Chain A
Amino acid sequence: MGARVVVDVMPKPELLDPQGQAIRKALGRLGFDSVSSVRQGKRFELEVDGDIDEATAQQMAETLLANTVIEEFRVRVERTP
């Protein structure tokens, strides 16, 4: 029995995302000019021995994986047999 915790972290929508802007411009140069906006985030995949409750997973994301001053996050716990 194990679990996988997946944490998606995105910059808050009200913040400028300079990396996303650079990527959008690069896509435009490649001919993908219908892309109007790109925002770049991060995805963490944590393999856990045994089970883990949602609250603990949430706490890990909040304490370290995301900086809630500038980022939003979403936590998902997937149980593996």
Chain B
Amino acid sequence: MKARIGVVTFPGSLDDRDAARAVRLAGGEPVSLWHRDSDLAGVSAVVLPGGFSYGDYLRCGAIARFSPVMDAIIAAAGDGLPVLGICNGFQVLCESHLLPGALIRNDHRHFVCRDQALRIECTDTPWTRELTVGQTIVVPVKNGEGQYCADAATLAMLEAENRVVFRYTGGNPNGSAADIAGVRNAAGNVVGLMPHPEHAVEALTGPSTDGLALFTSVLRSLTRTGVPA
């Protein structure tokens, strides 16, 4: 039986279909979760996709954070459920305080959309274990509010605890502190990043197929830890 991976759709989500497709190409079974669901349908992991949930009203991710599905995800994440937030999903995870820091407007004020090289900094998460520390992957980045920021103490903690998972290399697209593209929580099961691995899963449409490794990683983690896969 294939592992069931939930993909949440908020009003204004854009990349939920691509995330579901990435799950399928990696060998999993994508399960659509709606923002009003308070039940996670027994999925073994969850992806929060990119887009503009609730029109980015108030702050990116701020309204989505209080949706019923997020209450369920926050509780399950505390119990170790693997959660991946991509772009707007990363913003939702920061607003939920599942991840430290915040994403603010790009320092150059422009929306950026390009292929981006990322250095893998941490493979001690269910989403990155098939990658190698120091490896470079290329995936699209597309955001207007992707500048990662946190206070100096938080940034120092992230470095000391090896919680920076992805770092921009070959140019920082948005002014993010310490070139940070993605981070994890203390336990490692919650990972968020601004760039889009789900758009780099097929040669036809992506700059590479590097993004697939995040989805195959979580599927392998689920099998390995004995969670029904």
Given contacts A64-B62, A67-B59, A67-B95, contact A15 B106 (CB under 8 A): no
Interface string of B94-135 (1 = CB under 8 A from A): 110000111011111100000000000000000000000000
Contacting residue for B149 out of A21, A22, A65, A70, CB 8 A: A70
Q: Which residue of B lies closest to A19 (CB)?
A: B105
Q: Whole-angstrom distance between the alpha carbons of A14 and B95 in the complex? A: 20
Determine if A18 and B149 form an interchain contact, defined as CB atoms under 8 angstroms apart. no
Q: Which residues of B contact A65 (CB under 8 A)?
A: 58
Determine if B150 and A69 form an interchain contact, defined as CB atoms under 8 angstroms apart. yes
Secondary structure class of chain B's binding surface, majority of residues = loop
Distance (whole angstroms) from the CB of A26 to the closest CB of chain B: 12
Determine if B58 and A69 form an interchain contact, defined as CB atoms under 8 angstroms apart. no
Interface string of A49-70 (1 = CB under 8 A from B): 0000000000000001101011
Q: Whole-angstrom distance between the alpha carbons of A64 and B66 in the complex? A: 9
Determine if B109 and A22 form an interchain contact, defined as CB atoms under 8 angstroms apart. yes
Distance (whole angstroms) from the CB of A7 to the closest CB of chain B: 12
Q: Which residues of A contact B94 (CB under 8 A)?
A: 69
Is B55 engaged at the interface, CB distance under 8 Å to the other chain? no
**B interface residues with partner A (beta carbon < 8 Å):** 58-59, 62, 66, 94-95, 100-102, 104-109, 147, 149-151, 175
Given contacts A67-B59, A69-B150, 7 further A-B contacts (CB under 8 A): A11-B104, A16-B147, A16-B175, A18-B106, A21-B109, A64-B58, A67-B62
- Can you offer 18 A-B residue contacts whose CB atoms are under 8 A? A11-B104, A15-B104, A18-B105, A18-B106, A18-B108, A19-B105, A19-B109, A22-B109, A64-B62, A64-B66, A65-B58, A67-B59, A67-B62, A67-B102, A69-B101, A69-B102, A69-B150, A69-B151
